[in-house]
């Protein structure tokens, strides 16, 4: 067995037809600005995505997730929305979006999009009307409050990106709240009229054929109406680089009425059979909130946390602890997992052990992701093994990094253009200089370099996804028999009569596993692994003897 080439046993076992399509699904995240530029302006667009949907479908994924493409001044690159029901001209038009959905559905791909319901852009017409005076129809659509008697902000709340969570507005003679940038005013989602307007947004996109939604920063969507100050955070050994880190975020977010609004979203999406909803939840109390937002049949389908996205090291204990928070038990929600996304540094740069080739680590990492119980999300370029790009300060676009330079790593390094063709100008992404520079090594990892190489990470990813789909134990099965011993990670996936054992070496030294795999039939072996030993970053999946 070579270090690159997996051994695959084709043993298709059908998933029960009543299982929702999204349960155990593989979702491919597309960052539109950096996926494919169809019109030569240096920025990716919807037509570029449509032209590359065959590539995405060839991975075997179930769905795509599109990061925001709505009209926006791009202060936070689309997460500051100026119109929820249109497409920013830089990405195309509603007709382009409809064409994307039609082509995706023809290829068997579901389409999910981002909903950003905690805030809008300050360019949104809702905010323009709200800030005009205190008596208009939308006066209470955002979070406004009077100054304290000394003119200071209403509370001590701090914004995620740095500085107070309040900005003075002379037109209203009040402060408005913002958990992120000052140009991202906080919606007052306590207001029933605001909820109705947001539900109208959901229906607009459902009527255009969207199959599901990722709901961004949903635990920031409601504040404490009594405007109580946050208490200080307890002492910590972790570096605090922002005023936000010095507080317990009790009153500026995570209000107990948020699940009631999520139930309204779920009731609406249930009018459209087969729709999927996933909450993005970060913060100090994320797991509790994720479970709350997915409890029972009337809330969201799944929740998406930050267990791995900012971890400096991948350890067996981290994986086990994250997974065991979501047992296969009645009343417990269904998790979604990601190792990378548009906000977090590329995992291959964070986690590759010293002395190990990044390509070997990337193979093991993809096998681990594809073995996890829950939905898994692959960020565009992860299937190619892209690493984090060092962006010089003069080219940084990320507003969070600009406000906190150099202590905050720029998110731009994970948002660089996808390399399609190694020999073409700008690696086939665009005919002109792209909005961010390509990675210096990414041309060697381009799609055309990997497409016809059976030992490439791209083709391994296709095989792993196919195996996950073919084995109910891997797609839907419960976890059992955890091992977290040094660098050795192991767990079984069990569904009905099928029993698959998964073992991974997360470190840079060899591990003896003799006796752990007696009588097992290999499904896949990676990086020189065999049933007796795991070399550095070795991995294997095994079908246990006597189990169907």
DSSP annotation string for 114-163: EEE-SB--TTSHHHHHHHH-SSSTTTTSB-EEPPPTTS--SS--B-TTSS
CA angle at 313 for the pair 310 and 317, rounded to the nearest 5°: 105
- Quick check: is 271 catalytic? yes
- Quick check: is 354 catalytic? no
Select from 26, 89, 10 the least CA-distant residue to 276.
26
* Number of CB atoms found within 10 A of residue 512's CB: 10
Selected catalytic residue, list 10, 18, 226, 271: 271
N- to C-terminal Cα separation, the chain: 25
**Digitized pLDDT (tens) for each residue of the chain, 548 residues in all:** 333 444 433 333 444 558 999 999 999 999 999 999 999 999 999 999 999 999 999 999 999 999 999 999 999 999 999 999 999 999 999 999 999 999 999 999 999 999 999 999 999 999 999 999 999 999 999 999 999 999 999 999 999 999 999 999 999 999 999 999 999 999 999 999 999 999 999 999 999 999 999 999 999 999 999 999 999 999 988 888 889 999 999 999 999 999 999 999 999 999 999 999 999 999 989 999 999 999 988 999 999 989 999 999 999 999 999 999 999 888 899 999 999 999 999 999 999 999 999 999 999 999 999 999 999 999 999 999 999 999 999 999 999 899 888 767 799 999 999 999 998 999 999 999 999 999 999 999 999 999 999 999 999 999 999 999 999 999 999 999 999 999 999 999 999 889 999 999 999 999 999 988 888 899 999 999 999 999 999 999 999 975 54
d(CA 123, CA 232): 33
Q: Residue 114: beta bridge partners?
A: 214
d(CA 275, CA 273): 6
Q: How far is CA 12 from CA 2, 181, 193, 521, in A?
A: 25, 49, 50, 15
d(CA 27, CA 109): 10
Select from 460, 508, 452, 443 the least CA-distant residue to 4.
460
299 and 281 Cβ atoms separated by less than 8 Å: no
**Cβ density class 268-289: b for 16+ within 10 Å, e for less:** bbeeeeebbbbbbbbbebbbeb
Selected catalytic residue, list 216, 307, 387, 492: 216
* Number of CB atoms found within 10 A of residue 345's CB: 20
* Domains and their CATH numbers in the chain: 26-120+190-468 (3.20.20.80), 477-543 (2.60.40.1180)
Residue 234 DSSP symbol: P
328 and 296 Cβ atoms separated by less than 8 Å: no
């Amino acid at each position: 067995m070579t270090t690159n080439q997996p051994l695959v046993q084709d043993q298709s076992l059908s998933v029960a037809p009543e299982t929702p399509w999204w349960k155990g699904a593989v979702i491919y995240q597309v960052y539109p600005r950096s996926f494919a530029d169809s019109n030569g302006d240096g920025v990716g667009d919807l037509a570029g995505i449509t032209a590359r949907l065959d590539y995405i479908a060839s991975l075997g994924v179930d769905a795509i997730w599109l990061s925001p493409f709505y009209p926006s001044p791009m202060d936070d690159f689309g997460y500051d929305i100026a119109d929820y029901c249109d497409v920013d001209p830089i990405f195309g038009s509603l007709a382009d979006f409809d064409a994307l959905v039609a082509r995706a559905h023809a290829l068997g791909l579901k389409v999910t999009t981002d909903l950003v319901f905690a805030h809008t852009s300050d360019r949104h017409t809702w905010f323009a009307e709200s800030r005009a005076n205190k008596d208009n129809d939308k006066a209470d659509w955002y979070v406004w409050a009077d100054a304290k008697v000394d003119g200071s902000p209403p509370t001590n709340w701090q914004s995620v990106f740095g500085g107070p969570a309040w900005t003075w507005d002379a037109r209203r003679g009040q402060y408005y709240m913002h958990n992120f940038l000052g140009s991202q005013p906080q919606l007052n989602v306590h207001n029933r009229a605001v909820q109705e307007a947001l539900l109208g947004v959901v229906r607009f996109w459902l009527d255009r054929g969207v199959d599901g939604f990722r709901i961004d920063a949903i635990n920031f969507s409601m504040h404490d109406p009594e405007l109580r100050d946050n208490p200080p955070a307890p002492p910590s050994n972790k570096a605090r680089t922002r005023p936000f880190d010095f507080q317990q975020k009790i009153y500026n977010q995570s209000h107990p009425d948020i699940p009631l609004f999520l139930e309204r979203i779920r009731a609406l999406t249930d009018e459209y059979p087969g729709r999927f909803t996933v909450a993005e939840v970060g913060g100090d109390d994320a797991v509790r909130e994720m479970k709350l937002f997915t409890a029972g049949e009337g809330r969201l389908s799944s929740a998406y946390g930050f267990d791995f996205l900012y971890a400096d090291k991948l350890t067996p204990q981290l994986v086990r602890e994250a997974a065991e928070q979501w047992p296969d038990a009645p009343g417990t929600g269904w998790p979604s997992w990601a190792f990378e996304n548009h906000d977090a540094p590329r995992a291959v740069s964070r986690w590759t052990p010293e002395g190990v080739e990044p390509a070997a680590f990337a193979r093991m990492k993809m096998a681990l992701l594809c073995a996890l119980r829950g939905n898994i999300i692959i960020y565009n370029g992860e299937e190619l093994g892209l690493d984090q790009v060092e962006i010089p300060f003069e080219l940084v676009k990320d507003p969070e990094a600009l406000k906190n330079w150099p202590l905050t790593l720029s998110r731009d390094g994970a948002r660089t253009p996808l390399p399609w063709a190694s020999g073409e100008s700008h690696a086939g992404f665009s005919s002109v200089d792209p909005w961010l520079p390509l990675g210096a090594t990414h041309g060697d990892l381009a799609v055309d370099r990997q497409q016809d190489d059976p030992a490439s990470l791209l083709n391994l990813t296709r095989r792993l996804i196919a195996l996950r789909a073919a084995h109910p134990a891997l797609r839907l099965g419960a976890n059992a028999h955890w091992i977290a011993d040094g660098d050795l990670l192991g767990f079984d996936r069990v569904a009905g009569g099928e029993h698959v054992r998964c073992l991974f070496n997360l470190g840079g030294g060899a591990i003896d596993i003799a006796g752990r795999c007696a009588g097992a039939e290999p499904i896949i072996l990676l990086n020189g692994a065999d049933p007796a030993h795991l070399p550095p970053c070795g991995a294997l999946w095994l079908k246990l003897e006597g189990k169907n």
